[in-house]
């Protein structure tokens, strides 16, 4: 798919999914379509029928109930399948074999391509492959949409691997759903999760009439007999031994009592020992003389048949020994169907059966079980009252209410379409000023406050110098003052012995190294070249030319691709003013030839890039090639530059048309693009690169992509959060899975500021001859056509 197709599709989703947003560069708003509401699209991940396990049942219920009760939510199903017991899933968008890393990655790619509004993962230990199910991390790390996770078990004392996996999931999730208040408290207390990120939604349940027990008993041939029941995959975790041991005392008082044990043996147990566990239970019943009071139904029932079976019992029993169990779907069903419940006090039962809705007994106590059951069977009025209390409690969790609550959770996390009020309003200068002192620009901040512990770096000071040459909305005297400070930092950073610039400086003005990285040196030459033509003072322009001549020779030897691109950009800027500069020309020729050859060497059918990995500032390499091609009249370089820029733009646009900066987690991952953490530097690079591509081709698709990149700062991104603050000119440090990084470091502030001025310049160049641009119309010509003095006043108001 071409970049043009990506952008066209994204624009359609924007317009149909929300209020129409006029693009920056449209000539007329007449043909903008009206907004049409579209359903939210959810990717649901979990087991599914016909797989026989509780998670599969829950996911199936969730899928069906949202479909029945919320037509405004469309659900794509991604099924986790058991490699030992595979099934066909005709409703699935994808099937993920639990032990296949590649399947998780393929599913993530499909989810991103589908442009879903949210992803919902059902998590339980044992259903995913890897140590403690860590293969699922390969999926959640790659999806860009907000992630909801249902935790079906929250362990107070997890193993080291279980804790590692859950901590990772909690860091990625936008919201966590649990089904008990206990689990919510445990997450906050033991795992450090902000309670505001946790939603407690009780397990859903069916809505059936009350009081039909005898009719359903008759279907089973059990009329007028007291019936107890337990359902689930049979295994030692169900506590069935204890209930069988309680039967002699129950039968002695109620000889006609029947205990129905419904459910197949757990597949893992069958695989390891066949039906030996069930045989041991049968032998125990025979030994105790109660075999005739037990009915075995060795099947995993579908939901309707299970509900019929529960309706046929008087008392539902869950004698589970594991008191950490967070959820039992069948317990919810039994309460909603108006059944008296006798249970051990595991987490879900303690909460659901409070206020005498059921009876709680100690685990592994046959005597306590027998006493509770006999107390109910021996007192019909008490039994009936408890059943009515249970039925009333169940009205709180019936499927329509459950569907409403879960759909509401999807609505809460789904990114709303954002319509910035004034997309080209000039950012204020407060943020830059506050991050600078007489030494230079601080590197990092905690919130909006400079963090002196990290001192300064040349990277930020050279970007700040570039800004002083572009920020024509800032009063000239102030630009001159700060440009001199940043230039002084650069000058002091030069190490004549090494013929390189240093990078990092501590707050006490001591250098932390003798040589900075190739990238920081290349970026410095770029700033010097830019300052030759753009510094806000003639003396600074002369200074820049002097230092460019000093540094150009040594820095022409850099070899890393990005560093090479930075030096090329500086040399190209110098050549715009000094077209006969031999050093600058050699840097451009050598660098363009290198990048062109790298691209040809690394290219493969689906990978038009200079390296096997993506990093930061990616569009700078295509930008340098395109500018070099135009300067040197090299069509082959132009083709390479445009081809590689199309490739990186495809990586940085979502199916919904939002810009998606290459995440820092991508670094060092061959042939991959990860969605987080997204950083402002990438959006600025995309705007600059698309601007030179538009200059070279006149293709409006480049304007569209530049626009998407700038709107990313203003909230049109994968989390719907505004990073840039127009009033102060500050910018938050990027987008994480949970939202914005609240710190406002120098790199982010400068990227936002420079992106604005790049967009302003591009809007001016894209203006159709003879009439004002749509940008000017939208803004009431506030910035594009007003006198410079008015723009200064706006910037500082």
Task: Write the burial class of residue 433 (CB in 10 Å: 0-12 exposed, 13-18 middle, 19+ buried).
Answer: middle
Per the structure, how many domains does the chain have? 5
Both 554 and 659 in one domain: the answer is no
* 700 located within any domain: yes
- The reported pLDDT for the residue numbered 421 is 58
Dist CA 624 CA 570 (whole Å): 10
Q: Which long-range contacts (CB under 8 A, 24 or more apart) does 504-509 make?
A: 504/443, 504/455, 504/456, 504/457, 504/458, 505/439, 505/440, 505/455, 505/456, 505/457, 506/455, 507/452, 507/453, 507/455, 507/456, 509/439
In a domain, 403, yes or no: no
Residue 13 lies in a domain: no
Q: Report if pTM > 0.95.
A: no
Q: Please tell me the predicted confidence (pLDDT) of residue 419.
A: 65
**Helix H or strand E encompassing 169:** helix 160-172
Q: Are residues 183 and 222 in the same domain?
A: no
Do 685 and 623 form a contact (C-beta atoms < 8 A)?
Answer: yes
Same-domain check for residues 146 and 242: no
Residue partners of 782: CB distance under 8 A and separation at least 6: 425, 794
Are both 282 and 370 inside the same structural domain? yes
Give yes or no: residues 540 and 637 share one domain: no
Strand 258-262 to 340-343 pairing: unpaired
Q: Are 394 and 205 in contact (CB under 8 A)?
A: yes
Question: Could you tell me if residue 207 is inside a domain?
Answer: no
Last residue within a domain, chosen from 145, 177, 200:
200
Q: What's the burial of 398, exposed, middle or buried (CB within 10 Å: 0-12/13-18/19+)?
A: middle
Query: Running DSSP on this structure, what letter comes out for residue 742?
Result: -
Distance between CA atoms of residues 714 and 724, nearest Å: 6
State pLDDT tens for residues 632-669. 999 999 999 999 999 999 999 999 899 999 999 999 89
Residue that is last in its domain, among 200, 234, 262: 200
Residue with tokens 């009063």: 475
Q: Are residues 189 and 116 in the same domain?
A: yes
Q: Are strands 294-297 and 258-262 parallel, antiparallel or unpaired?
A: parallel
> What's the domain range around 272?
213-391
User: Residue 114 is inside which H or E element, if any?
Assistant: helix 101-114
* Residue 414 forms part of a structural domain: no
Give the pLDDT score at 25. 54
308 with 210: CB under 8 angstroms? Answer: no
Nearest to 653 by CA among 578, 711, 567, 607: 711
Question: Tokens standing for 631?
Answer: 């300067």
Structure tokens belonging to residue 122 = 């059902």
Residue 145 belongs to a domain: yes
Residue 9 lies in a domain: no
Within a domain: residue 70? Answer: yes
Statement to judge: residues 692 and 566 lie in one domain: no
- Rounded CA-CA distance 311/602 in Å is 66
Cβ(167)–Cβ(123) under 8 Å? no
| Structural tokens at position 327 | 């959820």
**One domain for residues 196 and 342:** no
CATH code for the domain of 154: 3.40.50.2000
pLDDT, tens digit, 9 for 90 and up, residues 356-411? 999 999 999 999 999 999 999 999 999 999 999 999 999 999 989 999 999 999 99
In a shared domain, residues 273 and 169: no
Please report, for residues 323, 421, 661, 667, the alpha-carbon distance to residue 680 in angstroms, rounded to integers and kept in the order given: 48, 20, 8, 16
- For residues 136 and 182, state if they share a domain: yes
**In angstroms, rounded to a whole number, what is the distance separating the alpha carbons of residues 659 and 10?**
10
List, in order, residues 6 or more apart from 391 with CB less than 8 Å away.
210, 335, 336, 337, 338
Domain's final residue, options 342, 368, 391:
391
Under 8 Å between Cβ of 183 and 86: no
Kindly state whether residues 347 and 473 are assigned to the same domain.
no
- Let me know whether 177 and 291 are in one domain: no
Question: Which H or E run contains 297?
Answer: strand 294-297
Interatomic CA distance for residues 733 and 463, integer angstroms: 16
Nearest alpha carbon to residue 1 among 700, 686, 654, 688: 654
β-partners of residue 294 are 259
Which residue carries 């370089």 as its tokens? 637
d(CA 696, CA 691): 9
Structure tokens belonging to residue 615: 């990093």
Q: Domain with 501 in it: what CATH number? A: 1.50.10.10
Question: Of how many residues is the chain composed?
Answer: 797
**Which residues of the chain have a pLDDT value below 50?**
1-23, 26-35, 769-797
């Amino acid at each position: 798919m071409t970049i043009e197709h990506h952008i066209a599709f994204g624009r359609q989703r924007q317009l149909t999914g929300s209020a129409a947003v006029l693009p920056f560069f449209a000539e007329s708003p007449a043909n903008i379509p009206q907004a049409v509401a579209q359903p939210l699209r959810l990717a649901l991940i979990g087991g599914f029928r016909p797989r026989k396990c509780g998670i599969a049942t829950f996911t199936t219920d969730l899928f069906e109930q949202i479909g029945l009760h919320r037509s405004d939510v469309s659900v794509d199903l991604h099924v986790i399948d058991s490699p030992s017991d595979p099934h066909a899933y005709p409703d699935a968008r994808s099937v993920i074999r639990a032990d296949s890393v590649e399947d998780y990655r393929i599913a993530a790619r499909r989810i991103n391509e589908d442009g879903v509004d949210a992803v919902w993962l059902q998590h339980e230990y044992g259903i995913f492959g890897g140590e403690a199910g860590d293969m699922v991390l390969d999926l959640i790390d790659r999806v860009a949409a907000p992630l909801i996770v249902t935790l079906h078990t929250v362990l107070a004392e997890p193993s080291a691997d279980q804790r590692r996996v859950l901590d990772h999931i909690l860091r990625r999730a936008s919201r966590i759903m649990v089904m008990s208040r206990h689990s919510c408290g445990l997450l906050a207390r033991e795992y450090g999760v902000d309670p505001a990120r946790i939603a407690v939604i009780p397990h859903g349940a069916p809505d059936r009439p009350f009081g039909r027990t005898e009719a359903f008993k008759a279907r089973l041939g059990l009329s007028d007999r007291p019936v107890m029941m337990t359902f689930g995959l049979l295994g030692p975790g169900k506590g069935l031994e204890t209930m069988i041991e309680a039967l002699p005392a129950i039968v002695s008082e109620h000889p006609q009592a029947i205990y129905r044990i419904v459910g197949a043996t757990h597949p893992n147990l069958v695989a390891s020992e066949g039906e030996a566990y069930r045989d041991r239970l049968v032998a125990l019943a025979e030994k105790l003389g109660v075999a005739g009071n037990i009915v075995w139904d060795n099947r995993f029932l579908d939901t309707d048949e299970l509900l019929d079976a529960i309706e046929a019992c008087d008392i539902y029993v869950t004698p589970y020994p594991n008191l950490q169990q967070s959820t039992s779907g069948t317990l919810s069903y039994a309460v909603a169907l108006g059944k008296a419940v006798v249970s051990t006090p595991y987490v879900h039962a303690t909460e659901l059966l409070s206020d005498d809705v059921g009876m709680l007994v100690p685990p592994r106590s046959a005597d306590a079980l027998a006493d509770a059951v006999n107390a109910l069977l021996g007192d019909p009025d008490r039994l009936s009252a408890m059943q009515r209390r249970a039925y009333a409690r169940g009205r709180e969790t019936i499927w329509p209410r459950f569907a409403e609550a879960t759909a509401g959770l999807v609505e809460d996390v789904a990114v709303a379409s954002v319509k910035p009020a004034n997309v080209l309003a000039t950012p204020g200068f407060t943020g830059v000023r506050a991050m600078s002192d007489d030494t230079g620009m601080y590197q990092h901040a905690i919130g909006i406050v400079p963090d002196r512990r990290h001192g300064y770096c040349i990277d930020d000071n050279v970007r700040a110098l570039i800004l002083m040459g572009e920020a024509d909305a800032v009063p000239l005297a102030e630009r001159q003052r700060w440009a001199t400070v940043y230039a002084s930092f650069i000058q002091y950073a030069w190490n004549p012995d090494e013929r390189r610039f240093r990078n990092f400086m501590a707050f006490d003005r001591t250098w932390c190294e003798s040589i900075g990285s190739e990238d920081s040196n290349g970026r410095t030459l770029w700033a010097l070249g830019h300052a030759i033509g753009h510094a806000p003072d003639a003396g600074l322009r002369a200074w820049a030319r002097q230092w460019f001549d000093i540094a150009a020779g040594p820095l022409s030897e850099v070899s890393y691709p990005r560093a090479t691109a930075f030096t090329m950009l500086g040399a190209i800027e110098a050549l715009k003013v000094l077209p006969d500069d031999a050093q600058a020309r050699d840097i451009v020729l050598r660098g363009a030839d290198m990048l062109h050859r790298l691209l040809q060497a690394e290219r493969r059918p689906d990978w038009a890039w200079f390296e096997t990995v993506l990093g930061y500032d990616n569009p700078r390499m295509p930008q340098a090639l395109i500018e070099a091609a135009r300067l040197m009249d090299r069509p082959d370089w132009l083709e390479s530059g445009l081809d590689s820029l199309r490739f990186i733009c495809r990586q940085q646009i979502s199916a919904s048309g939002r810009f998606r900066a290459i995440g820092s987690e991508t670094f060092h991952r061959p042939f991959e693009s990860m969605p987080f953490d997204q950083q402002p530097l990438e959006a600025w690079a995309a705007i600059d690169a698309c601007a030179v591509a538009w200059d070279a081709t006149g293709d409006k698709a480049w304007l569209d992509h530049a626009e998407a990149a700038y709107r990313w700062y203003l909230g049109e991104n994968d989390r719907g959060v505004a990073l840039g603050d127009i009033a102060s000119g500050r910018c938050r440090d990027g987008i994480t899975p949970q939202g914005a990084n609240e710190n406002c470091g120098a790199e982010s502030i400068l990227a936002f500021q420079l992106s604005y001025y790049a967009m302003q310049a591009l809007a001016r160049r894209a203006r159709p001859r003879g009439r004002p641009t749509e940008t000017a119309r939208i803004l009431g010509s506030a910035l594009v056509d007003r006198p410079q003095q008015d723009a200064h006043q706006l910037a500082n108001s």
